[in-house]
Chain A
Amino acid sequence: NAGVTQTPKFQVLKTGQSMTLQCAQDMNHNSMYWYRQDPGMGLRLIYYSASEGTTDKGEVPNGYNVSRLNKREFSLRLESAAPSQTSVYFCASKWGGPINSNQPQHFGDGTRLSIL
């Protein structure tokens, strides 16, 4: 049972390059999330998706786009990478919608992204 799988695990980009971070979950969860984690700070929500075909902005959406391709997959795209986007990116999923608060989130192992 893989849970939440993120690819790639590491990536180095140059400023201005674009890339897509991939996330897939096999738990049949409705809700999926993208966070970034920076040193000395907690995780901050970039975007979330309540169900297939819907996406909404979180706390720090600027510079990012997302696609909920199907129920399993939720991708995060950096169109023009900037050094400020150097971070560790985590995808998470949970059962139920974003109104349901009593279900835990399940996290992938992250993508470590460096932008030079």
Chain B
Amino acid sequence: SQQGEEDPQALSIQEGENATMNCSYKTSINNLQWYRQNSGRGLVHLILIRSNEREKHSGRLRVTLDTSKKSSSLLITASRAADTASYFCATVLFSGGYNKLIFGAGTRLAVHP
């Protein structure tokens, strides 16, 4: 079973609204990363939050991490049509002699003009 699972699977909003995506995971982690994937393209790293951090900001992005609940959220404020993409959380855990990046199945975000 997957380490990270995003919720919701799909989200449809209007430009200017906020978008919130959640990620839950199962085991202790070193850090958690969020990536964006535009249609037909590779993943692009958005933000990394360490296990001892609770909140991090980058431009219109806000990420929170609650290690007691094993969950993280990604908030995109004042969304734009260009934010339309799939968003993946990836947990980093040490297993088999290296730090694995374990991806969830992603949230598909559609932002309508």
User: Which residues of chain A have a CB within 8 Å of any CB of chain B?
Assistant: 4, 40-45, 48, 50, 56, 58, 90, 92, 98-102, 104-110
Q: C-beta contact mask, B19-59 vs A, less than 8 Å → 1, else 0?
A: 00000000000110100000011111100101000000000
Contact status B42-A107, CB under 8 Å: yes
Interface residue tally for chain B (C-beta within 8 Å): 27
Contact B100 A45 (CB under 8 A): yes
Q: Is A109 a contact partner of B98 (Cβ separation < 8 A)?
A: no
Given contacts A50-B98, A107-B42, whether A42 and B104 have CB atoms under 8 Å apart is: yes
Question: Nearest A residue to B38 by beta-carbon distance?
Answer: A109
Q: Beyond A50-B98, A98-B99, is A109–B40 a contact (Cβ under 8 Å)?
A: yes
Please name all residues of chain A whose beta carbon is closer than 8 Å to the beta carbon of B99 when the two chains form the complex. 98-101
6 more CB-based (< 8 A) A-B contacts, given A58-B100, A100-B99, A104-B48? A41-B105, A42-B4, A92-B42, A99-B94, A102-B48, A107-B43
| A102-B29 Cα distance, complex, nearest whole Å | 12
What is the distance, in angstroms, from B66's C-beta to the closest C-beta of chain A? 19
